[in-house]
Amino acid sequence: MKAYKDLSKEELLTLQEQLNKDYEDAKSKGLKLDMSRGKPAASQLDMEMDFLNVLNADSILKTEAGVDCRNYGVMDGIPEARKLIGDVIGVPAENVIIFGNASLNIMYDTVARSEIFGVMGETPWCRLDKVKFLCPVPGYDRHFAITEQFGIEMINVPMTEDGPDMDMVEALVNTDPAVKGIWCVPKYSNPQGYTYSDETVKRFAALKPAAKDFRIYWDNAYAIHDLYEDKKDTLLDILSECEKAGNPDMVYEFCSTSKVMFPGSGIAALASSKANLDFIKKYMTIQTIGYDKINQLRHVRYFKDAEGMKAHMMKHAAIMRPKFEAVLHVLESELNGLEIGSWTEPKGGYFISFDALEGCAKKIVEKCKEAGVVLTGAGATYPYKKDPKDSNIRLAPSFPTPEELAMATDLFVLCVKLVSVEKLLKEA
């Protein structure tokens, strides 16, 4: 196919006329489709309904050590659940605390605790003139929302296929004491689906922060969310790498079973050094007497071990994989060679990242919405919702049915073509 930029003005006008007609036809279909968030589909939730049968009124609700899960206590989580999550992310059980149902909640509390009480004896952030966070972009909108709510200055760090631009990360972290953290989704990153290379992880571990209370916020949300059994990305364990580099306290690792089991009914965890966990538990004792141990026990009895959880995730992959492949097929067949967009081809996670021509993302998302397809808001993948190039769009293939996904993707590429032609005509 001929690149749009190589078309004459007359060719572009003819193309625009046809695309406008196709768009009006699409609007007349009355679509109401949602590709805005990475929600599991009903078919994924249906396949795990037997999770609810694991425990009942006749179940013995005691841990292997005899702790009654119906009662108070065991603030850092039952040992079996700590081992299960530790094995999944590759860290010792003693480095894990099990919380409630959402890792986002843990991240929010971790920032709030740092603001109010500081980090291991350092000055509380609320007393400092300036606090900064590094934000790999495009990235996860809910991360940015946390730091924005606390008035923390966010600094964009470009993403590469190997992870964040580590030259920039090192330059900022190692010289500026106001830099207190960095948001990371290290495996199948949101939204690009990139996995940090071994070199990137080792460079993170070897940082020499100007601030003693600098921490890496390592949101390992997609640790076992592979789409292919034989084409899995691998990620080095950041905790052991930090320990080897002499920085054992530098990382907080977050994870949950929100997209493993029912979202909202999972278990979430924090993994870190003993010193960090001891500090955190000192404040947790005021906040809670303990989280839902019955749900922790249900997870342990259902999955049994990390291999059981990974096998379960292959059932998810069987549903997710065709959806990703369908979207990528449409993008490739409809847009390849036109030079009006590029996209990632992840091996796991929940998203595909699309980059339109500069200045086109908002208009594409608006046109899709007008025709009945809701996408993640343009700019959402950047701090303050400000994409400097107005080009990035996050596609979430998981929730729609395959039939809905085909219609939504067809409309998306139509809007990409139409908005791109409009841009090129203005520049002609």
* pLDDT tens digits along 321-341: 999 999 999 999 999 999 999
Sheet containing strand 352-356, strands side by side: 341-343, 352-356, 392-395
Report pLDDT digits (tens) over 125-167. Answer: 999 999 999 999 999 999 999 999 999 999 999 999 999 999 9
Mention every residue, 6+ apart, whose C-beta is less than 8 A from residue 26.
371, 410, 411, 414
For 316-354, b where at least 16 C-beta lie within 10 A, e where not — what string? bbebbbebbeebbebbeebbeebebbebbebbbbbbbbb
Under DSSP, is residue 99 helix (H, G, I), strand (E, B) or coil?
A: coil
Domain residue spans in the chain?
Answer: 4-45+311-427, 63-304
Radius of gyration of the chain (CA): 23
Candidate CATH numbers 3.30.2130.10, 3.90.1170.50, 3.40.640.10, 3.40.718.10; the one for domain 63-304: 3.40.640.10
Fold agreement (4-45+311-427, 63-304): no
- 180: enclosing H helix or E strand: strand 179-184
Instruction: Give pLDDT tens digits for 360-411.
Output: 999 999 999 999 999 999 999 999 999 999 999 999 999 998 889 989 999 9
What is the token pair recorded at 168?
């920039």
- What is the per-residue pLDDT across 292-318, written as a single tens digit (0 to 9) for each? 999 999 999 999 999 999 999 999 999
| CATH number of this structure's domain 4-45+311-427 | 3.90.1150.10
pTM above threshold 0.95: yes
Is pLDDT of 117 > 90? yes
- Residue 27 confidence (pLDDT): 94
What number is the average pLDDT over the span 87-101? 98
